Amino acid sequence: MGLCSKPDKASDVAKKGGGDKKIDDPKKPCPLAEEANIVSIAWLDGGDDKEVATATQWVNLPMEDQWVNGAEIKNKDRLGMKPRLKVKFDKPGSHSFKVKLLAPTGTAAYTATEKARNPNFNHTEDEKSYTTDADGTKIIANDVQLVAGGGYKFKAEAKDSKGKKVTTGELTTKRLFYYVEAKMTGLASVLSSTAPIDSEYAKHHIVLKQLSALSITRQTNIGNDTDSGTLSGNVNTAIDASATVKAKKPYLLAVAYTDHLAVKNANVTISKQPVEVGPGKPKVVIPVVARGLLAPNAVETRYLWHDLVPGESWFVEAKFHRDGGGVTDIPAAKVTHKGTGDYWDEVEIDVTGLAVGRGRIDVKVNVVDRMRGGLALGGANQVCVCTRAWWSNQPDAKQECTIIHEIGHKLDMVVKGSGKQPDAVATHYSGKGHAGDHCYQGCPAGEASYNTAANLSASQCVIFGAVNQKNAFCANCEKAVKKLDINSGW
């Protein structure tokens, strides 16, 4: 190593006319005696010597080569919750310093209860101490954690032993997953563009990357768990047949386009009494009224089940119960439907073929309990949207709303503050005329049932319990969407 030269002897100093100066007063400090200074701290970007001032961090994807897509994600350093940092000093050697993440800006901070529920809601808050390598630099890897949510803007600060501070540029968190459309063959009204769906989620720092569409076998109706299981199996078969699509698991959602998603309420009995039967007697008309299958199980007008599943009829049986005893079967040909268009809400019975008498007529029918706009299929990375409801093709506006809604369910909306979720959304409700967790923003609080025309009209959130053609998450829900942890995928 280099040495500092000795100071001149006193006699030499005197000869040079510097006799009044003390020999231990050097004119200049020794360069090697100066302490090193911290120069910079920066986010690494694809190499140990490649730095970036500002960047996006895709926090839900693991730091693996397969998720580098060459578009949004150019290298592995932009993946995961623990980005790499590099600190430099102006001299080689071992120099101590400290690093901390500054409090993030952008999205609202996680609450104490949220942090307690989910470690991925906690960024590294304590100051960490390090020492540079022999060359005066230090790469910090896998030691500083961001958060799972999107829209958080992070900076890191480093401080040397003299208190000098340097700061990185801004790293903004986002989430990304892939989706593929699975279209049933022969559908006439599949959504023409998914751009509105991509746009809504982009507002909440979630990027949806679309893959080439798949084709699946057509089912005329998805009405029960068996039907849903068949659909899910068909989607999985199509995914497994495409290496490109399959490779995106577990950060892959399938959006299946279906025919009807109608739920049948079978063997409902409708009655009328007293009725007069026999030759010349007028036809008997009975309104179709039934109790709903979902709480609060409201009794209301229903429509007869028809033209939804090949071979399935609305008619089951009809009987005349004669006063004083005796029951007579009424042939199916004597019982017809009434209504407007496909909305059959009455049955009409020709009683002229019965023996004269008085009594009660019971007709057992199958009715439509409800028509779903879409489903988030349980236990799978799949949602579906109907392209037909109430015997009519569904417009793009309804399909857009439904897909945003069902993807929201797959992301764990509407959160209720349990498990690894953010805190409960203030306008959350469960059930109350709908199936699952939804948001009543715009409607009165505390309704026994939100399944009313008034509530549908008043609702203001895309994740209300029925298709309201509102594509945006409300102010309450959007806060939760930004905070969601989707690191595990599906």
At residue 265's C-alpha, the angle toward residues 272 and 349, to 5°, is: 30
Confidence category of residue 54, pLDDT binned at 50, 70, 90: very high
Question: What percent of the chain lies above the pLDDT cut of 90?
Answer: 92
For residue 414, cis peptide bond before it (omega within 30 degrees of 0)? yes
At residue 449's C-alpha, the angle toward residues 443 and 450, to 5°, is: 35
Confidence category of residue 35, pLDDT binned at 50, 70, 90: confident
**What are the C-alpha distances in Å from 19 to residues 5, 6, 11, 13, 27?**
20, 17, 8, 6, 14
Both tokens of residue 426?
């203030």
What mean pLDDT is predicted for residues 280-288?
A: 98
Confidence category of residue 378, pLDDT binned at 50, 70, 90: confident
Q: What is the pLDDT of residues 67-117, one digit of tens each?
A: 999 999 999 999 999 999 999 999 999 999 999 999 999 999 999 999 999
Q: What is the pLDDT of residues 200-245, one digit of tens each?
A: 999 999 999 999 999 999 999 999 999 999 999 999 999 999 999 9
pLDDT, the chain, mean = 94
DSSP class of 142: S
Both tokens of residue 266?
């079978």
* Backbone torsion region of residue 446, taken as left when φ is above 0, otherwise alpha when ψ lies between -120 and 50, otherwise beta: left
Residue pair 291/372 in contact by the 8 Å Cβ criterion: no
Confidence (pLDDT) at 331 = 98
